[in-house]
Structure 1
Amino acid sequence: MTYPKKIDMHAHHFPLLSKEEGAALDRDNGLWLRVDAGGDTGQIMTGEKPFRPVYKVLWDAHARLAEMDEQGVDIQISCATPIMFRYSDAARAAADWAERMNDHALQFASANPARLKVLAQVPLQDLDLACAEASRAKAKGHVGVQIGNHLGNLDMDSAHLVDFLTHCANDGIPVLVHPWDMMGGPNRMKKWMLPWLVAMPAETQLSILSLILSGAFERIPKSLKLCFAHGGGAFAFLLGRVDNAWKHRDIVRQDCPNPPSSYVDRFSVDSAVFDPDSLNLLTKIMGTDHVMLGSDYPFPLGEPRIGSLIAGADFLSSQDKARMLAGNAADFFGL
C-alpha cells in the first residue's frame, strides 16, 4: 500500500461562531469567535471574556490548506478545541451542541475532503447520547472521536467511560483522548502556563494508568483504536516507576493482572514531545508502530515545523520514519 508522506493526526479547529449562536446554549459563557479587523486574527470568547488569541487557520480551511502545502502536510486530522466539549451542560443541550459542532467540522473539511479529516465530539456526560452521536458522526464522515480525559471526577476506568470506549471498539470508531480541565487549579499554578506544562502531562498519565491499573483494559475489546495526545504525557518517563511499584506493592497490582508495561500495545500516542531524546525514549517504550505524527497545530505549544522532530531523528530508520509520519495514522484511522 502507498501512503501519503505526512499525516498530522492531532490538530485543532474552532468554527466561525457568532456571539448569538454561542449564546444560544449559554448566555453568560457561550463560546464564540471574535474576529479582529482585517480578518486574520481573533479571540475565542466565553461570553464577554477573552479565552485565547487565535489566527485564521483555526477557522479558515483555505488558509489552513495553504499552510499545509507550505509545511508539506498531505492530510491533517483536526478536532475540537477542548473548551468546546461542554461536559458540564445539561445532556440534551450538550448533545445538540455536539451535533452542531460536528456539522461545522464537516463543513470545514469540505474545502478539501481528501486532505482535511475531522474527529467528532460527543456529549460524554450521557452514555446513550454520546454513543449515538459517535455513530452518527462516523456515518456522516468523521474518522473518529475526540474525548476529554475525564468527566468531572470520573476517570477513564469508570464504568461510564469504559462502556463508551467499548461502544467505539464495537462500532470501529477510533478515539483520541485529550487532556483538559487540568488538576491543581489556579491557586497552585498561577503563572508561566504551569497548568499546560505540569498538569496536562499528569492528566494524560493519570488516564493511561487508570485504564491499566484498574484492569479496564481487560474489559475493553482489543479492537479498540485508542490514542493519547502529547506523547502520552508523563507516562513513558515514569513507566519504570509504575512497573517497580506493581512488582513490590500488592495494592498497586490488586486489579491489574499483568505488569503495566505489558499494556503498551493497547494504545498509541502522538509525537508531540518536542525533543529528540524524549522521542527516542517514547519509541523505545511504545514501539515505532504506536507513535503517530501529531503537532497540536495551530496553537503556540505545538510543533512549529510539523514532522521535523521525526524526520530529523537519527535513531530512526527510514521505514520507522515513514510509519510514524504517515503509515501508522493511515492504518489507525482507516485512511
Structure 2
Amino acid sequence: MKTIDVHTHYVPRGWPDLARAAGGGDDWPWLRADSERDACIMIRSQEFRRIRNDCWDAEARLADMDADGVDIQVVSPTPVFFSYTRPAVQALKVSRIFNDLALEICAPAPDRLLPFCQVPLQDTDAACAEVDRCLAAGHLGVEIGNHVGDRDLDDEGVVTFLQHCAEVGAPVLVHPWDMPSSARLDRWMAQWLVGMPAETHLSVLSLILGGAFDRIPESLRICFAHGGGSFPFWVGRADNAWHRRPDVVGTSEHPPSHYLNRFSVDSVVFDDRALRLLVDTMGAERVMVGSDYPYPFGERPVGHVVRKADFLDDASRELLLGGNAARFLGRALVAR
C-alpha cells in the first residue's frame, strides 16, 4: 500500500507582479528572495512567512518524501493566495497564474506530486469554469478556503460549486484561512493554534446544520484539513443541541453525527490520543494522512503518529496511510 499525504502546500519560486497582472492596489503578496534556498512571502513591507526551497523545488520535496516513506503528495495552494476578498475578475487572474505554476512545480514527478488548484470562490460561475479548466490541464482536485468573508460553506453559491465538483468528480480539500485577529489571538500564533481549529469546526457545522449536505450529492469527496479542527471532539455537543433546541439549531434533516460519513479529515493532530478520538469518531475509513508539509507547524516525519499508533490494526493503518486517500482521489489517481 502506498503512503499518500493529502495535505501539503507549494509556493512558486516567483510569480508576476500581481498588481500589474491582475489590477488592484499594492498589497498583493510578493516574494523576497533571500538566497537560492530561502525566501519570504511579503505583504507590502511586512514578512508573512519565511519559506525554503522545499516549497517550489520538486527535487527537495522528493528527497523529504523518500526520507519519510511517502510515495505521493497532494500539492495544494497556500491560502494567502486565494484572493477571495478581491473582485472576482482579479481573483480569477491570480488563480490562473498560480494554477499554471503549480503544474510546473509538479511536472518533474507527475506520478508522485499531484496538484490541486485554487478557484475564485466568490464567483460561482468563474470557480466552476476554473476547476474545469484545471482538471483538463492536469490538476486532480481543488483546495478551497473554509469561508468567503461572512459566507460559510452552506452559502448557496458555495453549495452550487460543491455540487459541480461532485458532478465532475473533483475531490475537494477544505483549508482554514483568514482567521480573526485580536489582541488575544495575536499572541503565541493563537490564530493558528486556536483560530484554525475553530474555523474548521464552524465550517463543518455549516455544511451540516445549514442543510448543505442534504442538498449536495453523496458522491462529493470532501476532506477537512487539520483533523477537522475541534469538530470531532464536540460532535456530541452538537447532537445534544440539535435534539434539545431544534427551534434554533440548524435546518439539517438529521443530527450532526448522521453526516459523519459525508466527509473525511486528515491525520495531522500530532498525538496518538487525538488520533484515537479521530478514528473512533469518524471511523477508520474517513481519516487520511496529512502533514501540512513543508511548513514548520506540520508533522515530520510524515505519518509518524499513524505508524506508531498501537490501537490501529494493520488493516486500519493501511487505510489511513493510503487506502482512504486512493479512494478520495478516485479515478484521477488511477489515470496517473
Task: State yes or no: 1:147 paired with 2:151.
Answer: no
State the percentage of identical aligned residues. Answer: 50
Aligned length: 330
Task: State yes or no: 1:328 paired with 2:324.
Answer: yes
Amino acid at match of 1:281: L
Residue number in structure 2 paired with 1:100: 97
Rounded to whole Å, the distance in 1 between the matches of 2:56 and 2:182 is: 29
Structure 2 residue corresponding to 1:316, chosen from 307, 312, 319: 312
Rounded to whole Å, the distance in 2 between the matches of 1:228 and 1:265 is: 13
Offset, 1:267? 0.3
Give 3-state SS (helix, strand or coil) of 2:167's partner: helix
Task: State yes or no: 1:302 paired with 2:308.
Answer: no
Offset, 1:30? 2.2
Rounded to whole Å, the distance in 2 between the matches of 1:256 and 1:53 is: 42
Give the TM-score taking structure 2 as reference length. 0.95
Offset, 1:32? 2.2
Offset, 1:21? 5.2
Structure 2 residue corresponding to 1:31, chosen from 25, 29, 41: 29
Residue number in structure 2 paired with 1:79: 76
Q: How well do the aligned residues superpose, as a CA RMSD in angstroms? A: 1.4
Residues 171-229 of structure 1, C-alpha deviation per residue, up to 9 Å, x if partnerless? 1111000000013x133312101111111100000000011112111101111001100
1:66-215 pair list within 5 angstroms? 66-183=63-180, 185-215=181-211
Offset, 1:49? 2.2
Task: State yes or no: 1:233 paired with 2:212.
Answer: no
Structure 2 residue corresponding to 1:289, chosen from 281, 285, 291: 285
CA contact 2:118–2:144 (8 Å) conserved in 1 = yes
CA contact 2:29–2:41 (8 Å) conserved in 1 = yes
Q: Which runs of 5+ in 2 are unaligned?
A: none
Residues 253-284 of structure 1, C-alpha deviation per residue, up to 9 Å, x if partnerless? 55122121010000000001111110000001
Residues 126-172 of structure 1, C-alpha deviation per residue, up to 9 Å, x if partnerless? 11000000111111111100000000010111111111101111111
Give 3-state SS (helix, strand or coil) of 2:183's partner: helix
CA contact 2:127–2:161 (8 Å) conserved in 1 = yes
Give 3-state SS (helix, strand or coil) of 2:17's partner: helix
Give the TM-score taking structure 1 as reference length. 0.95
Q: Which runs of 5+ in 1 are unaligned?
A: none
